[in-house]
Copies of this chain bind each other. A is one copy, B any other.
Amino acid sequence: MTEQQDAYPSMTISTDQSSENIAPIKLGERLKEIRRTLGLTLEEASQKTGLARSTLSKIENEQISPTFQAMQKLTNGLDINIPQLFAAPKKVNTTGRRDITRNELGKSHPTSTYEHELLATQLSNKKMMPFKSLVRARSFDDYSDWIRHDGEEFLLVLKGEITFFSEYYEPVNLSEGDSVYYDANMGHMLASVSEDDALILWVTAS
């Protein structure tokens, strides 16, 4: 498993803008945008939310900071949820992003028990992290402790056979084509059954 992709005339095309969003949320701006999108006047929005026309105007122009109570009326009345209101001030437009990784050309991270190959390295801010990994471990004892982290994991055996150990269940053997989906907060670890390393694909999301 090589560790460089630069050597390959890369097929990767990606438009990607990272940059965290720490900017103070322009609540008013965002609200006006939403109202406009819904095709509502202040008067109509007022009726739907139960907030005065004047109050809405002031909120939209950042003249006042609405109370939580007011915000609930807003979100209920306009049928939007709160995260939606704040979380996406600047819509991080990801449309059109794409990243191709050729076989054996991911970014390699070898450890004693695994050799992880991170796929789709060109894109940041993505919902999932896909890996292809060689499972080197032969038994439970190769680990010092359970692997445990936030999020969920999906795993599919590409080649070989592995034993999937987990905190709350009995170990199971998985052959080529078998898969598991599990919560990664539950302690877990893998071992190859045969003498050869096993190859797996796994994807995490949190």
Mark A residues whose CB is within 8 Å of B: 11, 13, 24-25, 27, 65-72, 81-83, 86-87, 94-104, 119-120, 123, 126-128, 130, 132, 151-152, 154, 156, 158, 164, 166-169, 172, 174-183, 185-186, 201, 203, 205-206
Asked, given contacts A72-B25, A181-B98, A185-B95, whether A103 binds B65 with beta carbons under 8 Å apart, the answer is: no
* Residue of B82, B183, B205 touching A82 (CB-CB under 8 A): B82
- Min distance, Cβ A25 to any Cβ of chain B, angstroms: 7
Main secondary structure of the interface of A (DSSP, over half): mixed
Identical chains in the assembly: 2
Distance in angstroms between the alpha carbons of A111 and B126 in the assembled complex: 29
Given contacts A24-B72, A98-B166, A176-B103, contact A120 B181 (CB under 8 A): yes
Contact of A205 among B175, B177, B205 (CB under 8 A): B205
Of the candidates B13, B86, B101, B128, the one whose C-beta lies within 8 Å of that of A169 is B13
B98, B103, B128: the one contacting A178 at CB < 8 Å is: B103
- Closest 5 interchain pairs by CB? A103-B177, A120-B181, A83-B83, A65-B69, A98-B182
